[in-house]
Amino acid sequence: MSLSQVLYHLKEGADQVIETSCAVVILKGAKAYKVKKSVDYGFLDFTSAEKRRSALLRELRYNQRMAADIYLGVEEIAGESVLVMRRFDTKGVLGEQSAQDPAWTPDLDLMHNLGRMVGRFHAGSEICRDPQHDNNIKYVIDSNKRNIDVFRKQLGGDAVDAYDAAIQAAYAAVESDVLKRFTDGHIRHCHGDLHLGNILVENGQPVLFDCIEFNERLSQIDVLYDLGFLLMDLWVRGHGDAASRVLNVYLEQAARLEDDVQSVYAGLKLLPLYLSVRAGVRCHVNANYGGEGHYAMDKARMYLEAAHRFLDMTPATFTAVGGLSGSGKSTRSRQIAPASGRAPGAVILRSDEIRKRLWACPEYEALPREAYTPDENHRVYGEMFALAGTVAATGQSVILDATFREVTWRDKAQALAAQANLPFAGIWLEVSASDRAARVALRTKDVSDATPDIAERQQAVDLATISWQIEP
Protein backbone atom coordinates (compact mmCIF):
# COMPACT_ATOMS: atom_id res chain seq x y z
CA MET A 1 0.00 0.00 0.00
CA SER A 2 1.08 3.54 -0.69
CA LEU A 3 0.84 6.27 1.94
CA SER A 4 -2.35 7.58 0.34
CA GLN A 5 -3.88 4.08 0.37
CA VAL A 6 -3.03 3.62 4.06
CA LEU A 7 -4.68 6.95 4.82
CA TYR A 8 -7.75 5.96 2.80
CA HIS A 9 -7.96 2.70 4.75
CA LEU A 10 -7.68 4.45 8.13
CA LYS A 11 -10.24 7.09 7.20
CA GLU A 12 -12.94 4.49 6.53
CA GLY A 13 -15.51 4.80 9.32
CA ALA A 14 -13.64 7.67 10.96
CA ASP A 15 -15.49 10.04 13.28
CA GLN A 16 -13.27 12.95 12.32
CA VAL A 17 -10.15 13.65 10.27
CA ILE A 18 -7.79 16.47 11.29
CA GLU A 19 -5.07 17.68 8.94
CA THR A 20 -2.06 19.80 9.84
CA SER A 21 0.80 20.96 7.66
CA CYS A 22 2.76 17.78 8.29
CA ALA A 23 0.37 15.11 9.62
CA VAL A 24 -3.09 13.58 9.43
CA VAL A 25 -4.92 12.53 12.60
CA ILE A 26 -7.87 10.16 12.28
CA LEU A 27 -10.30 9.92 15.20
CA LYS A 28 -12.08 6.59 15.30
CA GLY A 29 -13.85 5.19 18.34
CA ALA A 30 -11.67 5.33 21.44
CA LYS A 31 -8.45 5.74 19.46
CA ALA A 32 -6.65 8.38 17.44
CA TYR A 33 -4.30 7.43 14.61
CA LYS A 34 -1.57 9.78 13.43
CA VAL A 35 0.25 9.50 10.11
CA LYS A 36 3.03 11.80 8.95
CA LYS A 37 2.63 13.42 5.54
CA SER A 38 5.34 13.02 2.93
CA VAL A 39 6.65 16.59 3.15
CA ASP A 40 10.00 18.37 3.37
CA TYR A 41 10.02 21.84 4.95
CA GLY A 42 13.76 22.04 5.48
CA PHE A 43 13.49 21.94 9.26
CA LEU A 44 11.75 18.55 8.91
CA ASP A 45 11.87 15.85 6.24
CA PHE A 46 9.24 13.08 6.11
CA THR A 47 9.70 12.12 2.48
CA SER A 48 10.43 8.42 3.07
CA ALA A 49 8.62 5.72 5.02
CA GLU A 50 11.71 5.21 7.20
CA LYS A 51 11.94 8.92 8.04
CA ARG A 52 8.25 8.96 8.93
CA ARG A 53 8.69 5.88 11.10
CA SER A 54 11.67 7.37 12.94
CA ALA A 55 9.74 10.58 13.58
CA LEU A 56 6.74 8.72 14.99
CA LEU A 57 8.94 6.58 17.24
CA ARG A 58 10.54 9.75 18.58
CA GLU A 59 7.12 11.31 19.07
CA LEU A 60 6.00 8.25 21.01
CA ARG A 61 9.11 8.09 23.18
CA TYR A 62 9.26 11.79 23.97
CA ASN A 63 5.57 12.18 24.75
CA GLN A 64 5.45 9.10 26.93
CA ARG A 65 7.58 11.05 29.40
CA MET A 66 4.49 13.13 30.21
CA ALA A 67 1.48 11.30 28.77
CA ALA A 68 2.19 7.58 28.70
CA ASP A 69 -1.48 6.64 28.92
CA ILE A 70 -2.27 8.72 25.81
CA TYR A 71 0.62 7.68 23.55
CA LEU A 72 0.13 3.92 23.22
CA GLY A 73 2.46 2.73 20.48
CA VAL A 74 3.50 2.71 16.82
CA GLU A 75 1.91 0.14 14.50
CA GLU A 76 2.78 -0.86 10.96
CA ILE A 77 0.15 -0.97 8.22
CA ALA A 78 1.41 -2.24 4.89
CA GLY A 79 4.85 -0.73 5.44
CA GLU A 80 3.59 2.61 6.75
CA SER A 81 3.96 3.61 10.41
CA VAL A 82 0.99 4.83 12.43
CA LEU A 83 1.10 6.39 15.89
CA VAL A 84 -1.75 5.03 18.01
CA MET A 85 -3.11 7.23 20.79
CA ARG A 86 -5.94 7.10 23.28
CA ARG A 87 -8.58 9.54 22.17
CA PHE A 88 -9.44 12.25 24.68
CA ASP A 89 -12.08 14.94 24.93
CA THR A 90 -10.63 18.11 23.43
CA LYS A 91 -12.91 20.14 25.71
CA GLY A 92 -10.34 19.36 28.39
CA VAL A 93 -7.58 21.19 26.49
CA LEU A 94 -6.92 24.59 28.07
CA GLY A 95 -6.40 26.31 24.74
CA GLU A 96 -9.75 25.00 23.53
CA GLN A 97 -11.47 26.20 26.70
CA SER A 98 -9.99 29.66 26.23
CA ALA A 99 -11.00 29.79 22.57
CA GLN A 100 -14.58 28.69 23.20
CA ASP A 101 -15.31 30.94 26.18
CA PRO A 102 -14.21 34.59 26.12
CA ALA A 103 -14.86 34.77 29.88
CA TRP A 104 -12.65 31.76 30.65
CA THR A 105 -10.10 32.19 33.41
CA PRO A 106 -7.58 29.58 34.57
CA ASP A 107 -8.22 27.87 37.88
CA LEU A 108 -5.37 29.00 40.13
CA ASP A 109 -5.18 25.69 42.00
CA LEU A 110 -4.74 24.01 38.62
CA MET A 111 -2.03 26.55 37.74
CA HIS A 112 -0.32 25.69 41.03
CA ASN A 113 -0.29 22.01 40.07
CA LEU A 114 0.84 22.87 36.55
CA GLY A 115 3.81 24.90 37.77
CA ARG A 116 4.84 22.11 40.11
CA MET A 117 4.46 19.46 37.41
CA VAL A 118 6.54 21.37 34.85
CA GLY A 119 9.22 21.92 37.49
CA ARG A 120 9.39 18.19 38.16
CA PHE A 121 9.42 17.40 34.44
CA HIS A 122 12.34 19.74 33.80
CA ALA A 123 14.27 18.46 36.81
CA GLY A 124 14.00 14.93 35.43
CA SER A 125 14.74 15.84 31.80
CA GLU A 126 18.00 14.81 30.19
CA ILE A 127 20.69 17.49 30.34
CA CYS A 128 22.07 18.43 26.92
CA ARG A 129 25.87 18.15 26.69
CA ASP A 130 26.12 18.65 22.92
CA PRO A 131 27.77 22.06 22.32
CA GLN A 132 25.93 22.52 19.03
CA HIS A 133 22.85 23.21 21.18
CA ASP A 134 24.49 25.71 23.53
CA ASN A 135 22.79 28.66 21.82
CA ASN A 136 19.59 27.42 20.20
CA ILE A 137 17.79 30.61 21.23
CA LYS A 138 19.85 32.51 18.63
CA TYR A 139 18.69 30.00 16.02
CA VAL A 140 15.07 30.84 16.89
CA ILE A 141 15.73 34.59 16.91
CA ASP A 142 17.23 34.37 13.41
CA SER A 143 14.36 32.15 12.25
CA ASN A 144 11.84 34.63 13.63
CA LYS A 145 13.53 37.46 11.77
CA ARG A 146 13.22 35.64 8.44
CA ASN A 147 9.65 34.49 9.00
CA ILE A 148 8.35 37.81 10.33
CA ASP A 149 10.04 39.74 7.52
CA VAL A 150 7.93 37.82 4.98
CA PHE A 151 4.92 39.72 6.32
CA ARG A 152 6.56 43.12 6.84
CA LYS A 153 4.05 44.82 4.51
CA GLN A 154 1.05 43.50 6.44
CA LEU A 155 2.64 43.94 9.88
CA GLY A 156 4.17 47.33 9.14
CA GLY A 157 7.78 47.72 8.12
CA ASP A 158 8.61 50.19 10.87
CA ALA A 159 7.20 47.88 13.56
CA VAL A 160 9.11 44.91 12.16
CA ASP A 161 12.38 46.85 12.02
CA ALA A 162 11.92 48.27 15.51
CA TYR A 163 11.34 44.83 16.96
CA ASP A 164 14.30 43.36 15.13
CA ALA A 165 16.59 46.06 16.49
CA ALA A 166 15.22 45.56 20.00
CA ILE A 167 15.54 41.77 20.05
CA GLN A 168 19.06 41.86 18.61
CA ALA A 169 20.13 44.36 21.29
CA ALA A 170 18.44 42.32 24.02
CA TYR A 171 20.22 39.16 22.91
CA ALA A 172 23.62 40.87 22.67
CA ALA A 173 23.22 42.11 26.25
CA VAL A 174 22.78 38.58 27.65
CA GLU A 175 24.70 36.37 25.21
CA SER A 176 27.25 35.32 27.84
CA ASP A 177 24.42 34.47 30.24
CA VAL A 178 22.77 32.33 27.55
CA LEU A 179 25.98 30.34 27.08
CA LYS A 180 26.42 29.99 30.85
CA ARG A 181 23.01 28.35 31.08
CA PHE A 182 24.38 25.56 28.87
CA THR A 183 27.51 25.20 31.01
CA ASP A 184 25.39 25.10 34.17
CA GLY A 185 23.20 22.29 32.84
CA HIS A 186 19.95 24.18 32.21
CA ILE A 187 19.75 23.25 28.52
CA ARG A 188 17.70 20.06 28.53
CA HIS A 189 15.46 17.91 26.39
CA CYS A 190 12.26 19.86 26.98
CA HIS A 191 8.71 19.82 25.67
CA GLY A 192 9.40 22.59 23.17
CA ASP A 193 5.80 23.62 22.50
CA LEU A 194 4.42 24.26 25.96
CA HIS A 195 1.37 26.46 25.37
CA LEU A 196 -2.26 26.13 26.45
CA GLY A 197 -3.19 24.23 23.30
CA ASN A 198 -0.95 21.35 24.39
CA ILE A 199 -2.16 21.05 27.98
CA LEU A 200 -5.02 18.68 28.74
CA VAL A 201 -6.86 18.53 32.04
CA GLU A 202 -8.04 15.06 33.06
CA ASN A 203 -9.29 14.10 36.50
CA GLY A 204 -8.44 17.59 37.67
CA GLN A 205 -4.76 17.27 36.76
CA PRO A 206 -2.77 18.84 33.88
CA VAL A 207 -1.26 16.57 31.23
CA LEU A 208 1.32 17.79 28.71
CA PHE A 209 1.12 16.36 25.21
CA ASP A 210 2.30 16.94 21.62
CA CYS A 211 5.89 17.92 22.35
CA ILE A 212 8.35 18.71 19.56
CA GLU A 213 10.11 15.68 18.14
CA PHE A 214 11.21 16.85 14.69
CA ASN A 215 13.92 19.43 15.44
CA GLU A 216 16.33 19.34 18.38
CA ARG A 217 17.07 23.04 17.90
CA LEU A 218 13.54 23.57 19.23
CA SER A 219 13.54 20.95 21.98
CA GLN A 220 17.09 20.98 23.39
CA ILE A 221 16.52 24.33 25.06
CA ASP A 222 16.77 26.27 28.29
CA VAL A 223 14.15 25.06 30.74
CA LEU A 224 13.11 28.69 31.34
CA TYR A 225 12.61 29.18 27.60
CA ASP A 226 10.40 26.09 27.63
CA LEU A 227 8.40 27.47 30.56
CA GLY A 228 8.39 30.85 28.85
CA PHE A 229 5.93 29.70 26.18
CA LEU A 230 3.33 28.92 28.85
CA LEU A 231 4.01 32.16 30.73
CA MET A 232 3.79 34.20 27.52
CA ASP A 233 0.58 32.47 26.46
CA LEU A 234 -1.11 33.16 29.79
CA TRP A 235 0.17 36.73 29.98
CA VAL A 236 -0.88 37.76 26.47
CA ARG A 237 -4.35 36.28 27.04
CA GLY A 238 -4.70 38.56 30.06
CA HIS A 239 -4.17 35.97 32.79
CA GLY A 240 -1.35 37.64 34.68
CA ASP A 241 -2.34 36.10 38.00
CA ALA A 242 -2.13 32.62 36.47
CA ALA A 243 1.25 33.33 34.87
CA SER A 244 2.53 34.64 38.20
CA ARG A 245 1.31 31.57 40.06
CA VAL A 246 2.88 29.18 37.54
CA LEU A 247 6.23 30.98 37.65
CA ASN A 248 6.43 31.11 41.43
CA VAL A 249 5.41 27.52 42.04
CA TYR A 250 7.78 26.40 39.28
CA LEU A 251 10.70 28.22 40.89
CA GLU A 252 9.91 26.76 44.31
CA GLN A 253 9.75 23.27 42.81
CA ALA A 254 12.99 23.75 40.86
CA ALA A 255 14.70 25.03 44.02
CA ARG A 256 13.74 21.79 45.76
CA LEU A 257 15.02 19.56 42.97
CA GLU A 258 18.09 21.30 41.53
CA ASP A 259 21.55 21.27 43.10
CA ASP A 260 22.31 24.96 42.52
CA VAL A 261 19.38 26.99 43.83
CA GLN A 262 21.01 30.35 43.12
CA SER A 263 21.44 29.34 39.47
CA VAL A 264 17.72 28.56 39.22
CA TYR A 265 16.82 32.12 40.16
CA ALA A 266 19.72 33.77 38.33
CA GLY A 267 18.26 32.52 35.05
CA LEU A 268 15.42 35.01 35.40
CA LYS A 269 17.72 37.58 33.79
CA LEU A 270 16.90 35.89 30.48
CA LEU A 271 13.13 35.78 30.95
CA PRO A 272 12.30 38.99 29.00
CA LEU A 273 14.27 37.68 26.02
CA TYR A 274 12.59 34.28 26.21
CA LEU A 275 9.07 35.70 26.51
CA SER A 276 9.73 38.02 23.58
CA VAL A 277 11.06 35.24 21.35
CA ARG A 278 8.03 33.09 22.15
CA ALA A 279 5.69 35.95 21.21
CA GLY A 280 7.71 36.43 18.02
CA VAL A 281 7.12 32.80 17.09
CA ARG A 282 3.40 33.28 17.63
CA CYS A 283 3.51 36.37 15.43
CA HIS A 284 4.70 34.63 12.28
CA VAL A 285 2.76 31.42 12.97
CA ASN A 286 -0.50 33.38 13.09
CA ALA A 287 0.46 35.37 10.02
CA ASN A 288 1.29 32.20 8.09
CA TYR A 289 -1.23 29.64 9.35
CA GLY A 290 -3.94 31.69 11.07
CA GLY A 291 -6.38 31.47 8.18
CA GLU A 292 -7.90 33.94 5.78
CA GLY A 293 -9.14 37.43 6.56
CA HIS A 294 -8.07 40.18 8.92
CA TYR A 295 -8.35 38.17 12.14
CA ALA A 296 -5.13 36.18 11.70
CA MET A 297 -3.07 39.22 10.75
CA ASP A 298 -4.57 41.24 13.60
CA LYS A 299 -3.43 38.51 15.99
CA ALA A 300 0.00 38.50 14.37
CA ARG A 301 0.28 42.26 14.95
CA MET A 302 -0.83 41.82 18.54
CA TYR A 303 1.89 39.23 19.14
CA LEU A 304 4.50 41.45 17.48
CA GLU A 305 3.52 44.30 19.81
CA ALA A 306 3.65 41.93 22.79
CA ALA A 307 7.07 40.66 21.72
CA HIS A 308 8.35 44.23 21.74
CA ARG A 309 6.71 45.06 25.10
CA PHE A 310 8.34 42.09 26.80
CA LEU A 311 11.68 43.79 26.12
CA ASP A 312 10.66 47.03 27.82
CA MET A 313 12.78 47.26 30.96
CA THR A 314 10.03 48.05 33.45
CA PRO A 315 11.75 49.05 36.71
CA ALA A 316 11.81 46.34 39.36
CA THR A 317 10.42 46.78 42.86
CA PHE A 318 11.29 45.29 46.25
CA THR A 319 8.42 44.55 48.64
CA ALA A 320 8.29 42.87 52.03
CA VAL A 321 5.00 41.63 53.46
CA GLY A 322 5.00 40.88 57.19
CA GLY A 323 2.51 39.92 59.85
CA LEU A 324 1.72 37.18 62.32
CA SER A 325 0.36 33.78 61.33
CA GLY A 326 -3.01 34.01 59.61
CA SER A 327 -2.71 37.71 58.80
CA GLY A 328 -2.94 37.06 55.05
CA LYS A 329 0.68 37.53 53.93
CA SER A 330 0.61 34.98 51.13
CA THR A 331 -2.74 36.21 49.83
CA ARG A 332 -1.52 39.81 49.81
CA SER A 333 1.76 38.83 48.15
CA ARG A 334 -0.07 37.01 45.37
CA GLN A 335 -2.31 40.01 44.83
CA ILE A 336 0.67 42.33 44.45
CA ALA A 337 2.93 40.08 42.38
CA PRO A 338 1.42 40.18 38.84
CA ALA A 339 1.55 43.99 38.64
CA SER A 340 5.02 44.33 40.16
CA GLY A 341 7.68 45.22 37.60
CA ARG A 342 8.10 43.37 34.35
CA ALA A 343 6.13 40.34 33.16
CA PRO A 344 5.05 38.04 34.62
CA GLY A 345 5.46 39.96 37.87
CA ALA A 346 7.39 39.57 41.08
CA VAL A 347 9.10 36.49 42.43
CA ILE A 348 7.61 35.67 45.82
CA LEU A 349 10.07 34.25 48.34
CA ARG A 350 8.10 32.59 51.14
CA SER A 351 9.90 31.87 54.39
CA ASP A 352 7.57 28.93 55.11
CA GLU A 353 8.43 27.27 51.80
CA ILE A 354 12.15 27.97 52.20
CA ARG A 355 12.13 26.43 55.67
CA LYS A 356 10.43 23.29 54.35
CA ARG A 357 12.96 23.06 51.51
CA LEU A 358 15.96 23.47 53.81
CA TRP A 359 14.61 20.60 55.91
CA ALA A 360 13.78 18.51 52.81
CA CYS A 361 10.20 18.41 54.05
CA PRO A 362 7.23 18.02 51.67
CA GLU A 363 5.17 21.16 51.24
CA TYR A 364 2.16 20.03 53.26
CA GLU A 365 3.88 18.00 55.99
CA ALA A 366 4.58 19.54 59.40
CA LEU A 367 8.13 20.23 60.54
CA PRO A 368 9.44 19.27 63.99
CA ARG A 369 9.80 21.95 66.66
CA GLU A 370 13.58 21.94 66.09
CA ALA A 371 12.96 23.64 62.73
CA TYR A 372 11.77 26.78 64.51
CA THR A 373 14.71 27.58 66.79
CA PRO A 374 16.40 31.01 66.64
CA ASP A 375 19.33 29.47 64.74
CA GLU A 376 16.96 27.97 62.18
CA ASN A 377 15.17 31.29 61.82
CA HIS A 378 18.52 32.92 61.02
CA ARG A 379 19.21 30.22 58.43
CA VAL A 380 15.81 30.67 56.77
CA TYR A 381 16.00 34.47 56.65
CA GLY A 382 19.58 34.26 55.42
CA GLU A 383 18.54 32.02 52.53
CA MET A 384 15.57 34.24 51.72
CA PHE A 385 17.71 37.38 51.65
CA ALA A 386 20.39 35.69 49.52
CA LEU A 387 17.80 34.64 46.94
CA ALA A 388 16.24 38.10 47.05
CA GLY A 389 19.59 39.61 46.12
CA THR A 390 19.95 37.18 43.23
CA VAL A 391 16.46 37.90 41.90
CA ALA A 392 16.89 41.66 42.26
CA ALA A 393 20.10 41.47 40.23
CA THR A 394 18.17 39.87 37.33
CA GLY A 395 15.78 42.81 37.06
CA GLN A 396 12.77 40.83 38.25
CA SER A 397 10.75 42.29 41.12
CA VAL A 398 10.91 40.66 44.56
CA ILE A 399 8.33 40.08 47.28
CA LEU A 400 9.41 38.68 50.65
CA ASP A 401 6.66 36.83 52.52
CA ALA A 402 7.61 36.25 56.17
CA THR A 403 6.46 37.21 59.66
CA PHE A 404 9.24 39.81 60.09
CA ARG A 405 8.51 39.92 63.82
CA GLU A 406 12.03 41.13 64.62
CA VAL A 407 13.00 44.67 63.72
CA THR A 408 16.43 43.43 62.60
CA TRP A 409 14.82 41.40 59.82
CA ARG A 410 12.68 44.35 58.75
CA ASP A 411 15.73 46.59 58.65
CA LYS A 412 17.68 43.97 56.70
CA ALA A 413 14.96 43.76 54.03
CA GLN A 414 14.99 47.52 53.56
CA ALA A 415 18.79 47.62 53.45
CA LEU A 416 18.85 44.87 50.83
CA ALA A 417 16.48 46.87 48.63
CA ALA A 418 18.73 49.92 48.97
CA GLN A 419 21.77 47.80 48.11
CA ALA A 420 20.00 46.66 44.94
CA ASN A 421 19.00 50.27 44.21
CA LEU A 422 15.32 49.32 44.15
CA PRO A 423 12.36 51.20 45.65
CA PHE A 424 11.24 49.50 48.86
CA ALA A 425 7.72 48.99 50.15
CA GLY A 426 7.12 47.38 53.52
CA ILE A 427 3.62 46.16 54.34
CA TRP A 428 2.61 45.02 57.82
CA LEU A 429 -0.71 43.16 58.07
CA GLU A 430 -2.32 43.76 61.46
CA VAL A 431 -5.20 41.39 62.24
CA SER A 432 -6.70 40.45 65.60
CA ALA A 433 -5.63 37.18 67.21
CA SER A 434 -9.13 35.72 67.03
CA ASP A 435 -9.51 36.55 63.33
CA ARG A 436 -6.09 35.11 62.55
CA ALA A 437 -6.91 31.90 64.41
CA ALA A 438 -10.20 31.60 62.53
CA ARG A 439 -8.42 32.01 59.19
CA VAL A 440 -5.82 29.39 60.04
CA ALA A 441 -8.59 26.96 61.03
CA LEU A 442 -10.01 27.19 57.51
CA ARG A 443 -6.73 26.37 55.77
CA THR A 444 -6.30 23.24 53.69
CA LYS A 445 -3.06 22.24 51.94
CA ASP A 446 -1.02 25.15 53.24
CA VAL A 447 2.76 25.31 53.52
CA SER A 448 2.52 27.03 56.90
CA ASP A 449 2.66 24.86 60.02
CA ALA A 450 0.72 27.39 62.10
CA THR A 451 -2.32 26.07 63.98
CA PRO A 452 -5.22 28.15 65.32
CA ASP A 453 -3.73 27.80 68.81
CA ILE A 454 -0.32 29.04 67.66
CA ALA A 455 -1.90 31.95 65.79
CA GLU A 456 -3.92 33.02 68.81
CA ARG A 457 -1.01 32.75 71.25
CA GLN A 458 1.56 34.62 69.13
CA GLN A 459 2.73 37.70 70.96
CA ALA A 460 1.65 40.89 69.23
CA VAL A 461 4.34 43.12 67.76
CA ASP A 462 4.54 46.67 69.10
CA LEU A 463 3.22 48.74 66.21
CA ALA A 464 5.31 51.67 67.40
CA THR A 465 8.40 49.77 66.23
CA ILE A 466 7.03 49.27 62.71
CA SER A 467 7.87 51.86 60.08
CA TRP A 468 6.12 49.95 57.30
CA GLN A 469 2.67 50.65 55.94
CA ILE A 470 0.16 49.01 58.28
CA GLU A 471 -2.85 47.36 56.65
CA PRO A 472 -5.80 45.56 58.28
Whole-number pLDDT of residue 290? 67
Q: So where are the chain's domains? A: 3-87, 91-309, 318-471
Over range 373-380, report the average pLDDT: 98
* Rounded Cα distance, 190 and 17, in Å: 29
Q: Which H/E stretch holds residue 320?
A: strand 318-323
* Rounded Cα distance, 88 and 70, in Å: 8
Give pLDDT tens digits for 26-75: 999 999 999 999 999 888 899 999 999 999 999 999 999 999 999 999 99
Write out the CATH class of domain 91-309: alpha beta
Q: Which residues contact 257 (CB under 8 A, 6 or more apart)?
A: 119, 120, 123
Instruction: Quickly list DSSP for 96-144.
Output: HHHHH-TT----HHHHHHHHHHHHHHHHHSPBP--GGGTTHHHHHHHHH
C-alpha gyration radius of the chain: 25
- In which band, very low, low, confident or very high, does the pLDDT at 119 lie, cut at 50, 70 and 90? very high
Specify the CATH superfamily of domain 3-87: Phosphorylase Kinase; domain 1 (3.30.200.20)
Q: Which residues contact 414 (CB under 8 A, 6 or more apart)?
A: 320, 424, 426
CB 431 within 8 A of CB 324: yes
Give pLDDT tens digits for 226-264: 999 999 999 999 999 999 999 999 999 999 999 999 999
Give 318-471's CATH code, choosing from 3.30.300.30, 3.90.1150.10, 3.40.50.2300, 3.40.50.300.
Answer: 3.40.50.300
- The number of beta carbons lying within 10 Å of the beta carbon of residue 171 is 19
Over range 409-432, report the average pLDDT: 98
| Sign of the CA dihedral running 377, 362, 93, 195 | positive
Q: Which H/E stretch holds residue 348?
A: strand 347-350
Whole-number pLDDT of residue 460? 87
- The type of residue at 76 is E
